[in-house]
């Protein structure tokens, strides 16, 4: 073969290669578009990491119908309790990243697991993507009716004068309630004694006066407060309770630095395309702010959210850093 023939063969090969690439690239783009499309024809599953009947389950089922209407596909709530919420979270982290599998949770468990460096089968920060802050849950500090303190400032004054004499129930070592106790001890020298519980008996023991104080959500204990079985001392954070506007917040009582991560959030696999995450966020925020749904949440002490995915992710990262500081200051280690 002479030089001219060699040149012609080389040009032919290059032309064939360009033709092959032109055929392949659009196909790959099309495949990516299919993978990123949402909503699609598949049902959407909301994984709830807790038993039926709690705030996460109630929220999941409340949102399922309007989301189904918005997406034109069935939305199924699947309760998968276990491992402190991490069983469901791990399933979502490893799910197909197409937006059709959501985690809806009180995401304190993810924050605490990450801050406490708990060894899991997945990374709660890097393997999950925050989609939407569904709502901040109103958290109350409660006491028995016969307690010697009637308000949060009186409680703060009492524990300072009686170090080591007051105990606080919580839902377990390393829980948001326990971490709040540690922060209170640091900030006001409370020396509160921790009494961990594993079940609902904590509220029963609080009513009976077997423990001195405990945290609980407004949704869980509003009835007991209304019936005069429990006394509401204060509300965490700086937002007043619409139900009891005269009750002091932690900020008003000098406990503004006590951080308690207690909010509802939605998450998907970290591999989910950004445009799908944005669509999920927009639809969730829209549903949350429908008047009937928003008013229902307001009545239960849940302030619905409207953060973008980026803003929610930044909030989660700040909370992990804050709780990480609590672990470090108190030399606290989570059981592996």
Per the structure, the complete domain to which residue 265 belongs is given by 44-137+261-329
> Considering all CA atoms of the chain, what is the largest pairwise distance in Å, rounded to the nearest integer?
106
In this structure, the answer to whether residues 227 and 272 fall within a common structural domain is no
Has residue 111 got a pLDDT over 50? Answer: yes
Q: Which value, to the nearest 10 degrees, does the dihedral of the CA atoms of residues 290, 291, 293, 294 take?
A: 100
Is residue 129 domain-shared with residue 271, that is, in the same domain?
yes
Count the Cβ atoms, other than its own, within 10 Å of residue 260: 20
> What does the alpha-carbon distance between residue 287 and residue 266 come to, in Å, rounded to a whole number?
13
Tally the C-alpha atoms within 13 A of residue 277's C-alpha that lie toward its C-beta.
Answer: 24
Supply the pLDDT for residue 60. Answer: 97
The tally of domains found in the chain comes to 2
In the predicted structure, residue 219 carries a pLDDT above the cut 80: yes
Q: Assess whether the previous peptide bond of 144 is cis (omega < 30° from 0).
A: no
Average pLDDT, the chain: 89
| 114 located within any domain | yes
Judge if 190 and 271 occupy the same domain: no
207 plus 289 within the same structural domain = no
Report whether pLDDT(174) > 70: yes
Residues 160 and 130 in one domain: no
Report the distance separating Cα 128 and Cα 103, nearest Å.
Answer: 9
292 and 310 assigned to the same domain: yes
- What is the per-residue pLDDT for 12? 42
Q: Is the pLDDT score of 11 beyond 80?
A: no
pLDDT digits (tens, 9 = 90+) for 269-328: 999 999 999 999 999 999 999 999 999 999 999 999 999 999 999 999 999 999 999 999
If asked whether residues 219 and 283 sit together in one domain, one would say no
Q: Which of 4-8, 26-30, 187-191 has maximum average pLDDT?
A: 187-191
**Sorting pLDDT into bands at 50, 70 and 90, what band is 201?**
confident
Give the integer Cα–Cα distance in Å for 164 and 46.
Answer: 44
Q: Residue 273 maps to which CATH number? A: 3.40.190.150
Q: Distance (Å, rounded) from C-alpha 267 to C-alpha 313?
A: 10
Q: Quick one: 158 and 130 in the same domain?
A: no
Comparing C-alpha atoms, which of 140, 185, 193, 144 is closest to residue 166?
A: 193
277 or 12, higher pLDDT = 277
| C-alpha span between 115 and 220 (Å, rounded) | 27
Share of the chain above pLDDT 90, in %: 80
User: What region, left, alpha or beta, does residue 189 occupy, with left being phi > 0 and alpha being psi -120 to 50 degrees?
Assistant: left
The residue to which tokens 């791990």 are assigned: 90
Tokens standing for residue 180: 């709040």
In sequence order, the 6+-apart residues with CB closer than 8 A to the CB of 260 are 139, 176, 177, 179, 180, 215, 236, 237
pLDDT score recorded for residue 255: 93
Phi, then psi, of 332 in degrees rounded to 5: -95, 135
**Mean pLDDT value of segment 188-216:** 91
Q: Is the pLDDT of residue 21 over 60?
A: no
C-alpha span between 307 and 299 (Å, rounded): 21
CATH code at position 211? 3.40.190.10
DSSP 113-124: HHHTT---SS-T
Its pTM stands at 0.85
What are the structure tokens assigned to 158, written together?
Answer: 């009492």
pLDDT of residue 33: 40
Instruction: List pLDDT tens digits, range 120-172.
Output: 999 999 999 999 999 999 999 999 999 999 999 999 999 999 999 999 999 88
Tell me, yes or no, whether 230 and 277 share the same domain: no
Residue 14 lies in a domain: no
Q: Is residue 253 part of a domain?
A: no
Residue 194 belongs to a domain? yes
CA nearest to 152, candidates 246, 87, 226? 246
Residue 32: inside a domain, yes or no?
no
Rg (CA), the chain: 25
Q: Indicate if 58 and 117 belong to the same structural domain.
A: yes
In a domain, 335, yes or no: no
pLDDT of residue 14: 45
In Å, what is the CA distance from 68 to each residue of 40, 46, 78, 165, 309? Answer: 12, 11, 15, 52, 21
Domain annotation covers residue 244: no
- Tokens found for residue 22: 């032109």
- In the predicted model, what is the mean pLDDT of residues 190-206? 89
- Assess whether 67 and 106 both reside in one domain: yes
pLDDT recorded at residue 127: 97
Query: Do residues 125 and 148 share a domain?
Result: no
The answer to whether residue 27 sits within a structural domain is no
Task: Answer whether 38's CB lies under 8 Å from 95's CB.
Answer: no
Of 235, 251, 272, the position where a domain reaches its end is 235
**pLDDT confidence bin for 30, thresholds 50/70/90:** very low
Give the mean model confidence (pLDDT) for residues 28-33: 37
Contact 174/332 with Cβ under 8 angstroms? yes
Q: pLDDT tens-digit profile of 242-280?
A: 999 999 999 999 999 999 989 999 999 999 999 999 999
């Amino acid at each position: 073969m002479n030089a001219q023939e060699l040149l012609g063969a080389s040009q032919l090969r290059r032309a064939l290669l360009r033709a092959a690439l032109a055929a392949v690239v659009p196909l790959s783009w099309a495949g990516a578009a299919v993978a990123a499309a949402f909503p699609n024809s598949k049902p959407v599953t909301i994984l709830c990491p807790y038993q039926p009947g709690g705030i996460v389950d109630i929220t999941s089922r409340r949102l399922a119908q309007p989301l189904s209407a918005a997406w034109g596909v069935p939305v199924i709530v699947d309760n998968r309790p276990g491992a402190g919420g991490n069983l469901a979270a791990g399933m979502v982290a490893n799910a197909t990243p197409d937006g059709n599998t959501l985690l809806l949770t009180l995401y304190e468990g993810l924050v605490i697991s990450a801050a406490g460096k708990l060894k899991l089968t997945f990374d709660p920060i890097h393997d999950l993507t925050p989609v939407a802050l569904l709502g901040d849950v109103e958290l109350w500090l409660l006491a028995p009716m016969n307690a010697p303190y009637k308000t949060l400032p009186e409680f703060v004054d009492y524990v300072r004068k009686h170090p080591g004499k007051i105990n606080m129930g919580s839902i377990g070592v390393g829980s948001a309630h326990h971490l709040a106790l540690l922060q209170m001890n640091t900030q006001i020298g409370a020396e509160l004694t921790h009494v961990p519980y594993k079940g609902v008996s904590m509220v029963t023991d609080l009513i009976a006066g077997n423990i001195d104080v405990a945290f609980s959500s407004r949704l869980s204990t509003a009835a007991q407060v209304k019936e005069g079985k429990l006394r509401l001392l204060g509300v965490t954070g700086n937002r007043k309770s619409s139900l009891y506007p005269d009750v002091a917040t932690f900020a008003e009582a000098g406990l503004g630095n006590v951080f308690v991560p207690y909010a509802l959030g939605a998450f998907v696999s970290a591999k989910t395309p950004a445009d799908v995450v944005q669509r999920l966020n927009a639809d969730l925020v829209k549903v949350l702010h429908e008047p009937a749904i928003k008013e229902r949440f307001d009545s239960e002490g849940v302030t619905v959210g409207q953060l973008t995915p980026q803003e929610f992710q930044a909030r989660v990262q700040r909370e992990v850093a804050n709780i990480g500081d609590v672990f470090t200051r108190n030399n606290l280690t989570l059981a592996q």
